[in-house]
Structure 1
């Protein structure tokens, strides 16, 4: 390991040949996927090359040190894959809920619109025209009176009576 820490490529080649099969075996037991295990094994071997100067012979053998790094890397890969799967599942659940909410909202809006149209048919002609101009076209009471050529007090009364009838027809409680 001292020679590997000094950048000796032949020493690393010998270390690679000695440890790579053990590292791969440990990683494949954790990941259960050969392709991912090969990737993680390569990452571990690169870590051994880069971190060779950190190796402490008093803390344990090179094999133990390599096995520890390999196990940690493999577990990290499993956790990363699980986190990604959890995020995808959560996103799918949010999208599904959103789609359901949009459909439910559209249905509710359509039903309310149909009920409003039905209730509007129950108003007198002047009430219906006044309500439609005020609430669907955004006209003021004064503009509604001018448009319908009707005195403002009459429009106010018809609007009030029409809105009360709409409220009752729609089943709105005050």
Structure 2
């Protein structure tokens, strides 16, 4: 894809569109917005394919991260106006392929990450996993936990620093 091969883009799209659409829909809870974000994700991937670094992440993790970030950006841009309904229904999006977290567990890096995550206190681990794999924003996490936004940001930042230290040892 980095060489401009449209067939490569098609292959990536066919293998990942359902999963990435699920990520977008879960965060946005609006089919039209999720479809728009998904299109933006593939445009970004097409334009930035040469920046993919397999040493940093697997392809699906890289794609899911882009989708998650774009969906969160769109949700923030739109504000609360289209998010009146709970997002519980998004869990039922039909997709039989493993999610990003399940794919991570299949590799040695995933094993190390899981071990390091297990080394965190329960609250910090849950907040980090919910933020990075569930798509919740800092504001949503703080509200759910009943803590100030700054406290939540600090909790996650300290947790990520401990994860980085654990993974680098």
Higher helix fraction (1 or 2): 1
TM-score bracket for the superposition, by shorter chain length: 0.3 to 0.5
In the superposition, the TM-score normalised over structure 1's length comes to 0.45
The one of the two structures with greater contact order (alpha-carbon pairs below 8 A, sep at least 6) is: 2
Task: Give the structure with higher Rg (CA).
Answer: 1
In the superposition, the TM-score normalised over structure 2's length comes to 0.47
